[in-house]
């Protein structure tokens, strides 16, 4: 199958409906990663075919859990994952892509420019130092850090009533037990990512004011 067929099949399995323009942007994004990866080492995944599942579908698997979210920040975004695929899929959502690595934020800015993502902004800053004027409904991270560290560094970014979303592999039993008072795990959702055999979970955490 072609990359576009792989993507369409995966989106169908996820129950995610995107128009042809959005699908094309996702594939163009993969092409940009492949191009920049040769110099910037953005991701250990090298093959475009593998990036469909490992990057695009893995990122988009959280979409059903983002209903009603207007403002989201992707902490430790790296090459723009999951923030850029989410920005493509949800043009109604304002998304910040935060990373302290200058090479990676340079790539993300170029990607947003070339993909025409007017709903995404790139921030080159350490998460603990970022003090936005307006806080976020959802603070998300993908393989960024252990849960307690994610909460410690990112809780100040969460708007009243907002949540922290941590994308994890195996069910993080030990990490959950290490969370301190003030952080409450509200749900741990298993995610099924087409084409990936590995386990995936989304941990949703509420934080006290």
Query: pLDDT digit string (tens) for 121-155?
Result: 999 999 999 999 999 999 999 978 899 999 999 99
| pLDDT at 104 (0 to 100) | 95
Question: What pTM value is reported for the model?
Answer: 0.96
Q: How confident is the model at residue 209 (pLDDT cuts 50, 70, 90)?
A: low
E strand or H helix that includes residue 123: strand 120-124
Q: Which CATH class is domain 58-207?
A: alpha beta
Separation of alpha carbons 72 and 190, rounded Å: 21
* Angle, in degrees to the nearest 10, between helices 3-14 and 20-40: 120
List the domain boundaries for the chain.
58-207
Average pLDDT of the residues in 65-70:
94
Query: pLDDT digit string (tens) for 174-193?
Result: 999 999 888 999 999 999 99
**Alpha-carbon distance values, 128 to 3, 41, 142, 147 (Å):** 38, 25, 17, 15
| pLDDT at 195 (0 to 100) | 84
| b/e map 16-42, b = 16+ CB within 10 Å | eebeeebbebbbebbebbbebbeeeeb
In the DSSP assignment, the letter for residue 107 is H
Separation of alpha carbons 124 and 104, rounded Å: 9
């Amino acid at each position: 199958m072609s990359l576009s067929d792989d993507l369409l099949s995966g989106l169908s399995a996820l129950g995610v409906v995107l128009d042809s323009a959005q699908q094309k942007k996702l594939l163009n994004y993969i092409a940009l990663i492949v191009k920049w990866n040769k110099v910037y080492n953005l991701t250990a995944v090298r093959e475009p075919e593998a990036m469909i599942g490992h990057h695009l579908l893995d990122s988009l698997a959280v979409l059903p859990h983002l209903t009603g979210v207007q403002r989201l920040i992707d902490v430790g975004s790296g090459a723009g994952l999951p923030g850029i695929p989410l920005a493509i899929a949800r043009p109604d959502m304002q998304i910040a892509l935060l990373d302290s690595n200058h090479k990676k934020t340079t790539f993300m800015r170029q990607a947003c420019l070339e993909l025409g993502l007017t709903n995404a902004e790139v921030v080159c800053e350490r998460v603990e130092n970022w003090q936005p004027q307006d806080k976020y409904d959802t603070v998300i991270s993908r393989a960024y850090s252990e849960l307690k560290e994610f909460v410690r560094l990112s809780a100040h970014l969460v708007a009243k009533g907002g949540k922290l979303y941590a994308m994890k592999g195996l069910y993080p039993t030990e990490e959950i037990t290490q969370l301190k008072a003030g952080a409450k795990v509200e749900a741990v959702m298993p995610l099924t990512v087409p084409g990936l055999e590995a386990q995936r979970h989304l941990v949703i955490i509420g934080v006290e004011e």
